[in-house]
Amino acid sequence: MSETRLREEICRYGRSLFERGLTPGSSGNISLRLDDGGWLVTPTNASLGFLDPARIARLDAGGRLVSGDKPTKEIPLHSALYETRGSAKAIVHLHSTHAVALTMLPEIDPRAALPPMTPYYLMRAGETALVPYYRPGDPAVADAIRGLAGKYSSVLLANHGPVVAGDSLEAAVFATEELEETAKLYLLLRNLNPRYLSPEQVADLVKTFGLELPSLARHEGHDHG
User: Residues with catalytic annotation?
Assistant: 120
Reference 161, options 79, 102, 121; nearest CA is 102
> Other C-beta atoms within 10 Å of 102: how many?
25
DSSP state letter for 125: I
Side-chain-side CA neighbours of 8 within 13 Å: the count stands at: 5
- b/e 192-223 (16+ beta carbons within 10 angstroms → b): eeeeebeeeebbebbeeeebebbebeeeeeee
CA-wise closest residue to 11 among 45, 53, 44:
53
Phi-psi map region of 137: left, alpha, beta (phi>0 left; psi -120 to 50 alpha): left
Q: How many CB atoms lie within 10 A of CB 167?
A: 13
Residue 202 · residue 224 · CB < 8 Å: yes
Maximum distance among all Cα pairs of the chain, rounded to whole angstroms: 55
CB–CB of 152/127 below 8 Å? yes
